[in-house]
């Protein structure tokens, strides 16, 4: 969501323009007869003091099990226990379908000292709509609020929360979950397909969304065939405005109703797991919109947000910032991270806009921010939140991936918290992305003057556990599609992009590709319509798709391309200084192993090089593993007839070398074969 320079790119499309609404059913309360109260005023408290104590200390990991609306059985009576945090409220009532939206029917009781209101309502059916009517301390009746812990929500533009379904989903992913717990992710391939569920595909007849079931049937099989290891879904928490892409969530605990029910979302994840695909979710703890049915001024005070706009308002997005120093807000966010992993079996979270959380002066001018109590720019409360979430998630869910989209040089993002790090498992390498895309956009005749744009990333490539992202942010807001960033005529555009992908897949770091980039989408991404799948009727786009499929499958087969990627011994330059030719030569290996070495030759000019000599680590036969100039991918077909034999001729500081053809605007991978 951020650019590599720390600037924001979503301001023009994420401004909140959605009309604030209440439910259509809520508007019937003026004429509907009042319902008689059904709650027992003298019944015992149902919320546990221990749970509330941990909640009030910011240490509650699973607040969703008692906050919000939860099915319980009290004295043999089935019902729903409602609980909401509103410490400054004078009065709180539950209003909903079950009481004709009459606030007099179901007043709640407050736990003194905790500010949490509760009410048990017997015999409520699943799916009933509800909200909270809150009267502030000064007597104002606030706009009705959706449940901050609501686990299901109405489809926009309606905004009520819904009584969740009783636990009913039968998971079938036991094998996957055990495999995940036993697999060291940093030593495994990660090839991530980033997806916006609302625009990957749509119904052709009405441009309607695919359902969770349809996504399970179509998206999962496609990503698996393409060789991806993980799906990364852009935010799936409920959000009011389609144009925010989910990055301005209101219902942080509710899977969006756009595609179906929470159990149908579980089905999508379960299907992916049974197919051998992990599922990552974008998570947005950095900010939230000010829609009146949401968290803003929740009990008439700045409860979830800071009161001072220098701390509580994001100028870039016209949104509010969580008060990370408030214990109950910490419990809210910590529990939400746990919730998606616990209740939906997701395999990790990608934290959006981490830089905006870490720096108090993020995107602010002098005088528009407040320093911490040491006088610094670091947001100490946000740092504490990030560390707490990462520590507790990894303790409870071994094998998951916690990923930071962090656009600055903050040290130790993926280091252990015990050594002063933030505790993430991975960090997006936005510097690599910016440098290399800038290089690739240049005319090849000028690239020799900017050689370091492609090599600079290796100076810090092993300082963090990096993911190399070509994400949705790079194909919107006038930035153009990846294909259209490439210079030259149409053939050269495709050749450049193929060569770039070959370079990327050979480079240290896990891989992320946004949907549509695998077949060279020509137009910028539009969230209101499906990808341009019709492009696959044309050979160049078919060739690009074949290449990405082969890159992924080769990435799965060769440990040199994924094992121990933070270890500098996995990478070695053969020739980093061929500026005049704009050629880059390097190798990848498994540390401590002499076999399985993959050599990459990247030629980023239109010049064909025959008899190009390059040093290799040992003698033997080097098979051509991949050639992005293959006619199969839409290239010219220049290559090495299967490979080349090494000669005892010293080159590039090595005693052995091979003489090869390096095609124009192409990447070639070679691998030493055993027994030849």
Give catalytic residue positions. 352, 405
CA dihedral 547, 504, 235, 368 (to 10 degrees): -150
The 10 Å Cβ neighbour count of residue 274 is 16
β partners of residue 470: 513
Task: Determine the Cα–Cα distance for residues 352 and 246; give it in Å rounded to an integer.
Answer: 11
Distances (CA, A) of 29 to 62, 162, 376: 34, 18, 52
**Is there a contact between 305 and 328 (Cβ–Cβ < 8 Å)?**
no
Q: What is the DSSP letter of 519?
A: G
**Is there a contact between 25 and 97 (Cβ–Cβ < 8 Å)?**
yes
Task: Determine the Cα–Cα distance for residues 190 and 515; give it in Å rounded to an integer.
Answer: 16
β partners of residue 645: 621
Sign of the dihedral through C-alpha 118, 123, 126, 131: negative
Write down how long the chain is: 676
The 10 Å Cβ neighbour count of residue 431 is 17
Quick one: tokens of 265? Answer: 């979302």
Strands (E) across 86-124 are located at 91-96, 109-111, 116-122
Helices 262-274 + 174-182 axis angle, to 10:
60
Residues 6+ apart with CB under 8 A from 537: none
Task: Determine the Cα–Cα distance for residues 676 and 669; give it in Å rounded to an integer.
Answer: 18
């Amino acid at each position: 969501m951020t650019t590599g320079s720390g600037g924001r790119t979503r301001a023009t499309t994420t401004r909140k323009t959605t009309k604030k609404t209440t439910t259509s059913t809520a508007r019937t309360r003026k004429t509907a007869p009042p319902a008689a109260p059904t709650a027992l005023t003298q019944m015992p408290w149902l919320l546990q003091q221990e749970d509330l104590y941990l909640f009030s200390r910011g240490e509650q990991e699973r607040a969703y099990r008692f906050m919000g609306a939860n099915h319980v059985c009290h004295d043999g009576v089935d019902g729903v226990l409602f609980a909401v945090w509103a410490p400054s409220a004078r009065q709180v009532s539950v209003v909903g379908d079950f009481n004709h939206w009459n606030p007099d029917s179901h007043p709640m009781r407050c736990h003194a000292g905790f500010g949490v209101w509760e009410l048990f309502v017997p015999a409520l059916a699943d799916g009933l709509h509800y909200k909270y009517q809150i009267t502030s301390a000064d007597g104002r009746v606030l706009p009705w609020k959706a449940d901050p812990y609501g686990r299901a929500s109405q489809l926009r533009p309606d905004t009520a929360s819904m009584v969740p379904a009783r636990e009913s989903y039968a998971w079938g992913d036991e094998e996957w979950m055990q495999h995940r717990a036993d697999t060291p992710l940093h030593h495994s391939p990660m090839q991530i397909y980033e997806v916006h569920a609302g625009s990957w595909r749509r119904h052709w007849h009405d441009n309607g969304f695919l359902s969770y079931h349809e996504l399970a049937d179509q998206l999962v099989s496609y990503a698996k065939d393409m060789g991806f290891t993980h799906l990364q879904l852009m935010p799936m928490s409920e959000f009011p405005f389609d144009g925010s892409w989910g990055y301005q969530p209101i219902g942080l605990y509710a899977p969006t109703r756009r595609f179906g029910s929470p159990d149908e979302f579980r089905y999508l994840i379960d299907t992916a797991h049974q197919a051998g695909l992990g599922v990552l979710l974008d998570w947005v703890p950095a900010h939230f919109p000010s829609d009146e049915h949401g968290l803003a001024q929740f009990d008439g005070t700045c409860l979830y947000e800071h009161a001072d706009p220098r701390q509580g308002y994001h100028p870039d997005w016209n949104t509010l910032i969580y008060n990370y120093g408030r214990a109950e807000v910490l419990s809210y966010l910590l529990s939400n991270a746990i919730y998606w992993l616990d209740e939906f079996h997701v395999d990790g979270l990608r934290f959006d806009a981490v830089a905006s959380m870490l720096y108090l002066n993020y995107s602010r001018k002098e005088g528009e921010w407040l320093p911490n109590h040491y006088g610094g720019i670091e947001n100490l409360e946000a740092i504490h939140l990030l560390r707490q979430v990462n520590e507790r998630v990894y303790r409870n869910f071994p094998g998951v991936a916690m990923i930071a989209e962090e656009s600055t040089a903050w040290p130790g993002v993926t280091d252990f918290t015990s050594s002063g790090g933030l505790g993430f498992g991975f960090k997006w390498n936005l510097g690599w992305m910016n440098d290399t895309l800038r290089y690739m956009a240049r005319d090849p005749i000028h690239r020799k003057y900017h050689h370091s744009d492609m090599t600079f990333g290796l100076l810090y490539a092993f300082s963090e556990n990096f993911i190399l992202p070509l994400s949705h942010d790079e194909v919107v807001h006038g930035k153009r599609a990846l294909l259209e960033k490439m210079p030259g005529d149409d053939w050269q555009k495709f050749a450049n992009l193929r060569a770039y992908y070959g370079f990327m897949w050979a480079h240290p770091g896990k891989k992320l590709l946004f949907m549509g980039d695998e077949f060279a989408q020509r137009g910028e991404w539009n969230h209101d319509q499906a990808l341009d799948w019709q492009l696959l009727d044309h050979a160049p786009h078919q060739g690009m798709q074949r290449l990405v499929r082969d890159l992924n499958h080769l990435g799965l087969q060769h440990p040199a391309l994924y094992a121990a990627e933070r270890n500098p011994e996995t990478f070695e330059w053969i020739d980093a200084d061929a500026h005049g030719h704009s050629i880059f030569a390097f190798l990848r290996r498994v540390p401590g192993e002499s076999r399985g070495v993959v050599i990459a030759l990247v030629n980023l000019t239109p010049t064909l090089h025959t008899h190009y000599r390059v040093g290799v680590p040992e003698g033997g036969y080097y098979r051509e593993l991949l050639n992005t100039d293959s006619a199969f991918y839409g290239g010219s077909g220049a290559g090495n007839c299967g490979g080349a034999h090494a000669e005892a001729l010293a080159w590039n500081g090595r005693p052995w070398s091979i003489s090869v053809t390096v095609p124009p605007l192409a990447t070639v991978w070679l691998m030493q074969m055993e027994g030849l």
